Structure 1
């Protein structure tokens, strides 16, 4: 076999190997709804301890739909519908007050929490795993 043929065969082999490797790598599609930024998380156990304190020094926001809220919510939660949420709804809350947000699993509340942080609220946390995780860990909900 001539030197040209060996080089040509080697080039084809390398080209096939690169093509095979590239075909195995799936391109990542960008999801426009995917949250890159995250609000700091608060565990269910930590929220339970905060709720047990006599002087609640925080505001708890339920960001779910009205239907979800009516099925039960965490004690003392203030309802703010994710679909219609406006920062003006929280004009009575000082920017340095601790705010804890939650929804069913954490996605909607993260988006509301990011809006709060971007608006200058300084101490915002998202309930880890949402009310689904809260209930799974045996913590109570209310319909009051």
Structure 2
């Protein structure tokens, strides 16, 4: 091969690597303000601003023991599942109590790390809620950022 062909091949591979890196960074990100599931994932910084500046219903979907240990001030507890040894009856979980969540407000959902709140956010969207925000990283990220909790 001559020098010019090697240059073209090198440029091709550099462009290919750049495209692959760009594509991997976009994977899993929403294409607009809402995710494909119909809710928006927000950082703890964004969540804190929502709580401070807007009227938002803060929904904690962890277990009662986790909630009693610490929670965000003003949060309402409605567990989404039985986890961590909790044995709540089905009528005490979000699926049965979803009508307790106001439809005329923004809903900020959080759990310990973000897994259960994602499920809860999907449930809310499926039930017709439109302004649903899932706090990425849960209360673990919240306290990690130094934000206050009620103990």
TM-score range, shorter chain: 0.5 to 0.7
Cα-to-partner distance string for 1:85-132 (whole Å, 9 max, x where unaligned): 234524244434210100000010110110000110011010011000
Q: 1:50-74 CA distances to partner (integer Å, 9 max, x unpaired)?
A: 2223xx4210000111111111000
| Contact 1:60–1:77 (Cα < 8 Å) also in 2 | yes
Kindly indicate whether the alpha-carbon contact (under 8 Å) linking 1:96 and 1:122 is maintained by their aligned counterparts in 2.
no
**Contact 2:79–2:94 (8 Å) recurs in 1:** no
SS of residue paired to 1:82: coil
CA distance in 1, matches of 2:102, 2:131: 11
Structure 2 CA distance for aligned equivalents of residues 40 and 118 of structure 1: 14
TM normalised by structure 1 equals: 0.66
RMSD of aligned residue pairs (Cα, Å): 2.0
Quote how far apart the aligned CAs of 1:38 are: 7.5
Q: If you compute each CA radius of gyration, which structure gives the higher value, 1 or 2?
A: 1
What is residue 68 of structure 1 aligned with on the other side? 66
Among candidates 111, 114, 127, match of residue 106 of structure 1 = 114
Q: Does 1:85 align with 2:81?
A: no
- SS of the residue aligned with 1:101? strand
How many pairs does the alignment contain?
A: 106
TM-score, normalised via structure 2 length: 0.63
Which residue of the other structure, out of 121, 138, 150, is the alignment partner of 1:142? 150
Find the aligned partners of 1:130 and 1:38 in 2 and give their Cα distance: 19
2:131 aligned to which of 97, 100, 123? 123
Q: Distance in 2 between matches of 1:141 and 1:67?
A: 15
Structure 1: tracts of 5 or more residues without a match: 1-35
Alignment map for 1:34-45 (pairs within 5 Å): 37=37, 39-45=39-45
CA–CA separation in structure 2 for the residues paired with 1:58 and 1:135: 19
Shift of 1:42: 1.3
Counterparts of 2:146 and 2:126, CA distance in 1: 33
Give the 3 Å change call, closer, same or farther, for CA 123–38 of structure 1 in structure 2: closer
Distance 1:132 1:100, change over 3 A: same
